[in-house]
Amino acid sequence: MAIRRTTKTVLAAAAALALLPGLAACGAGGQSVADACELITSGTSDMNSSMSELSTAMTSGDTEALSEQVSAINDEVAAIGEKVTNEEVAPVYEKFAGAFGDLTTQIEGMGELDMTDTEAMTKVSEDMTAASTALTEAQSELTELCGA
């Protein structure tokens, strides 16, 4: 049951990335809000295949592949953040990136769990739910800032 919830959490993370392509807005000075949001939109839409590979690695039980995918995705998220310089968008994106990193760290830790340890699985499930909630909140804040 915890594996099913974890898979749903991975899918929720992928959905959060998939929702970002609808972002657009305007701003003033330096990098505009619209330009920053466009960087985020284009960068995150390119990550869909990485999220699919993460899901595959997670369900395969290949902890090495899982770790590689988590690292690659977190690197992609960080690279997008380095390009976002708008004073309004950057801190909101950083919150999103931090929440996303927390969730992927939780996912990576799943590879080392004893699935028969009910107490550990419950704790991980609770932690992943909290991380997923934080990601959803950060994504909503980003969408509100960048949305039409």
18-52 per-position pLDDT tens digit: 444 444 334 445 899 999 999 998 888 777 777 78
Q: Which of 83, 125, 122 is closest to 106 using CA atoms?
A: 125
For residue 141, being part of any structural domain is answered with yes
**How many CB atoms within 10 Å of residue 48?**
13
Q: What is the model's pLDDT at position 18?
A: 46
For residue 58, being part of any structural domain is answered with yes
Dihedral angle sign, alpha carbons of residues 127, 67, 136, 10: negative
- pTM over cut 0.85: no
For residue 26, being part of any structural domain is answered with no
**How many CB atoms within 10 Å of residue 145?**
19
Full domain range(s) for residue 72: 2-21+31-146
33 and 14 in contact (C-beta within 8 Å)? no
Structure tokens given for 105:
């760290």
Domains held by the chain: number: 1
Q: What is the model's pLDDT at position 6?
A: 52
For residue 122, being part of any structural domain is answered with yes
- pLDDT band at 82; cut points 50, 70, 90: very high
Q: What is the model's pLDDT at position 16?
A: 52
Q: Does the pLDDT value for residue 56 go beyond 90?
A: no
Average pLDDT across the chain, whole number: 79
Structure tokens given for 141:
């804040």
For residue 69, being part of any structural domain is answered with yes
Share of the chain above pLDDT 70, in %: 79
Q: What is the model's pLDDT at position 26?
A: 40
Q: Does the pLDDT value for residue 141 go beyond 90?
A: yes
For residue 127, being part of any structural domain is answered with yes
For residue 42, being part of any structural domain is answered with yes
For residue 17, being part of any structural domain is answered with yes
